[in-house]
Chains A and B, each alone.
Chain A
């Protein structure tokens, strides 16, 4: 499995501000993903982070709200923009090293928006 780190691990933010979450992997991976887990809910895919091109967003998620970067095969960032209390969630990045392999998740970022 891959070793995945996320920064920050948790944060408390004021509404209207933005937060950038970093995801770092210890080896090159083909696919990187960003998920949101709202309180008491399951995981919902936000987008697939594509290396060298724009992310592919799922229905209900837009680039203006959740801009994503992936400058290389080991690193990605997710920004949560113009936050509101409804953005309070755990944000998780996951990676897939090879096609058909399991996705491995980072430890998550717990975000609370006041």
Chain B
């Protein structure tokens, strides 16, 4: 079974609109972390935002917020007021505690294109 599922292979959004990128996850570990990364065409992976499984509040970083719904096992990324520079691949990732072997598992990604 997939640990991280991103069901939107591609999205087109008008500039200045808000956009939600979906991510669902599967784990039986009570302690885990969820991450979002942005990968522009240059190839680098840019860390955007982190949510811990025990965090009570949804994480926010500037224009990025994470809509964390623990019971539904979803961790959607919301980008407010989208900009042309937001066009990129976006990856959701999870880290489980896993007895100290804390590695990241990535989803398949969503390609976001912002239309002027």
Contacts and interface: CB of A to CB of B under 8 A. Distances in A.
Contacts, number: 47
Given A48-B103, A99-B102, A43 B108 contact: no
Contacts of B101: 56
Nearest to B111: A40
A102 B47 contact: yes
Band of interface residues on A:
20 to 34
Interface stretch (B13-21, B38-46, B63-71, B74-82): B38-46
A90 B47 contact: no
21 contacts: A1-B47, A33-B104, A42-B91, A42-B106, A42-B107, A42-B108, A43-B45, A45-B103, A48-B103, A58-B103, A90-B43, A99-B102, A102-B35, A103-B35, A103-B47, A104-B47, A105-B37, A105-B44, A107-B42, A107-B43, A108-B45
Contact of B50 (A42, A94, A102): A102
B104 A45 contact: yes
Contacts of A105: 37, 44-47
Interface in B78-116: 91, 101-104, 106-109
The 5 A-B pairs of least Cβ separation, nearest first, read A105-B45, A108-B43, A42-B106, A43-B106, A102-B47
Interface of B: 33, 35, 37, 42-47, 50, 52, 91, 101-104, 106-109
Interface of A: 1, 33, 37, 41-45, 48, 56, 58, 90, 92, 94, 99-100, 102-108, 110
A43 B105 CA distance: 8
Nearest to A109: B43
A43 B91 contact: yes
B47 to A, nearest CB: 5
Contacts of A58: 103
